[in-house]
């Protein structure tokens, strides 16, 4: 059951369910990588291939640069000779008696003076008087709810380099095996790294980020409060991806962060303007009705309803943020109603 599973296990179950429901692969990780929403991994376990040894499917496609008219004629001498011969073979039009202008035309070594009609040269094309077809289009979409491309996190970099003191235990219930006691870790260094990995959608990076962050918050105690300012930028980056799954994971971890020690909720109050604007956008969005069709939503059972989760997180921030918490939340999220004043 989801109640007994870890948060990372719930995400794995959600991915498996999406594969079963969306069999066309529209919500798979491969389609997100093709759209540029998820960073691509390394070419191999030893890193990327050199540019001259890349496989054919990984080489960047060279775009054809447009050539000028002179370069085209220079590369194709047949076109050049044809254009010269056409000027010699083309028949001459009879000249009118009232012609005023004069032009020079060279034919071989002889130069002849020809006259042209100025009214014919200054005539207006027929297509200029035709009305142009103008498409009646509305203003473009602002894209406020559109997912943003995810940049590689620090956790990916440190894990590929082998600098994290953890390894994954691949058992019936996956977990992290710490090579060092969690109480002895430097929280100023490792906790921001695991929080920065919350925006990852590919395993094992996502599994390590979520599980490692929960393990460090459970055993952190008093060492979490001094690290709160360093966690603002990773939290902001994860929420600004506008990805519902990443936002739900980040909001759950924010609740765990506030409840993991005293004064942590008050320490987050000055940073509400940095981390809460995405919550104001998605506060009223619970079920993605446009994408669901006739499918069933399982978000309530796994606590993945984004709108309800945002409301719950804001209430926890207000309860543990002190006297100034509500007015700062109200400034960023105008539709929020106080749970303390209303007695919820």
pLDDT at 83: 47
**Based on the structure, what is the number of domains in the chain?**
1
Residue 114 within any structural domain of the chain: no
| pLDDT tens digit sequence for 163-210 | 899 888 887 777 888 998 988 889 999 999 999 999 998 888 889 999
The per-residue DSSP string of 43-61 comes to SBTTBPPPGGG--GGGSPP
Q: Within a domain: residue 86?
A: no
Contact yes or no for 212/166 (Cβ under 8 A): yes
Peptide bond preceding 204: is omega within 30 degrees of 0, i.e. cis?
yes
Q: Flag whether pLDDT at 85 surpasses 70.
A: no
The reply to whether 66 falls in a domain is no
Q: What is the mean predicted confidence (pLDDT) over 42-51?
A: 76
> With the C-alpha atoms ordered 309, 314, 318, 320, is the resulting torsion angle positive or negative?
positive
pTM of the model: 0.71
Determine, yes or no, domain membership for 44.
no
Q: pLDDT tier at 140 (50, 70, 90 boundaries)?
A: confident
- The reported pLDDT for the residue numbered 299 is 60
Span of 123-137, 143-157, 161-175, 297-311 with lowest mean pLDDT: 123-137
**Confidence class of residue 120 from pLDDT cuts 50, 70 and 90?**
low
Q: Is residue 284 a part of any domain in this protein? A: yes
Q: Is the peptide bond before 267 cis (omega within 30 degrees of 0)?
A: no
Q: Say what the pLDDT of residue 316 is.
A: 92
Which SS3 state, helix, strand or coil, does residue 176 take?
Answer: strand
Exposure on the CB side of residue 246, measured as CA atoms within 13 A: 27
In a domain, 305, yes or no: yes
pLDDT of residue 300: 66
CATH of the domain at 236: 1.25.40.90
* Structural domain span for residue 171: 7-17+147-332
Check: CB of residue 318 under 8 Å from CB of residue 311: no
Cα–Cα distance measured from residue 339 to residue 318, given in angstroms and rounded to the nearest whole number? 8
The tens digit of pLDDT for each residue in 283-327 reads: 887 755 555 566 666 666 667 788 888 999 999 999 988 888 899
Is residue 20 predicted with pLDDT exceeding 70?
Answer: yes
Q: Is residue 118 part of a domain?
A: no
Predicted local confidence at residue 272, as pLDDT: 92
- Alpha carbon dihedral 207, 210, 215, 216, in 10-degree steps, equals 130
Question: Is 185 among the domain residues?
Answer: yes
Quick check: 134 and 186 in contact, CB under 8 A? no
- The pLDDT, as a whole number, for residue 210 is 92
pLDDT digits (tens, 9 = 90+) for 225-253: 999 999 999 999 999 999 888 999 999 99
Are 30 and 194 in contact, with CB atoms under 8 Å apart? no
């Amino acid at each position: 059951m989801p109640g007994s599973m870890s948060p990372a296990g719930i995400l794995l179950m959600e991915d498996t369910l999406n594969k079963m429901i969306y069999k066309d692969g529209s919500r798979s990780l491969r389609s997100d990588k093709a759209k540029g929403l998820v960073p691509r991994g390394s070419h191999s376990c030893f890193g990327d291939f050199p540019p001259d040894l890349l496989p054919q499917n990984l080489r960047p496609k060279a775009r054809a640069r447009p050539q000028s008219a002179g370069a085209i004629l220079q590369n194709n001498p047949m076109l050049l000779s044809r254009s010269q011969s056409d000027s010699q073979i083309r028949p001459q039009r009879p000249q009118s008696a009232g012609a005023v202008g004069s032009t020079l035309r060279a034919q071989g070594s002889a130069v002849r003076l020809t006259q042209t009609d100025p009214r014919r040269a200054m005539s207006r094309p027929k297509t200029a008087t035709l009305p142009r077809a103008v498409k009646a289009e509305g203003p473009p979409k602002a894209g406020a709810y559109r997912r943003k491309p995810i940049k590689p996190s620090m956790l990916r970099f440190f894990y590929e380099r082998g600098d994290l003191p953890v390894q994954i235990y691949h058992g019936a219930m996956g977990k992290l095996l710490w090579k060092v006691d969690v109480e002895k870790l430097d929280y100023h260094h490792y906790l921001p790294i695991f929080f920065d990995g919350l925006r990852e959608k590919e395993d094992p990076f996502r599994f390590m980020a979520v599980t490692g962050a929960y393990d460090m918050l459970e055993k952190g105690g008093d060492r979490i409060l001094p690290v709160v300012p360093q966690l603002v930028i990773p939290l902001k980056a994860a929420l600004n991806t506008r990805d519902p799954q990443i936002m739900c994971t980040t909001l759950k971890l924010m609740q765990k962060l506030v409840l993991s020690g005293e004064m942590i909720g008050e320490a987050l109050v000055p940073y509400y303007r940095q981390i809460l604007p995405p919550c104001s956008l998605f506060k009223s969005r619970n079920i993605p009705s446009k994408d669901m069709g006739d499918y069933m939503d399982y978000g309530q059972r796994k606590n993945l309803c984004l709108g309800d989760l945002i409301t719950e997180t804001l209430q926890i921030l207000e309860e543990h943020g002190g006297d100034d918490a509500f007015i700062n939340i109200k400034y960023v999220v105008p539709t929020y109603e106080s749970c303390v004043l209303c007695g919820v």
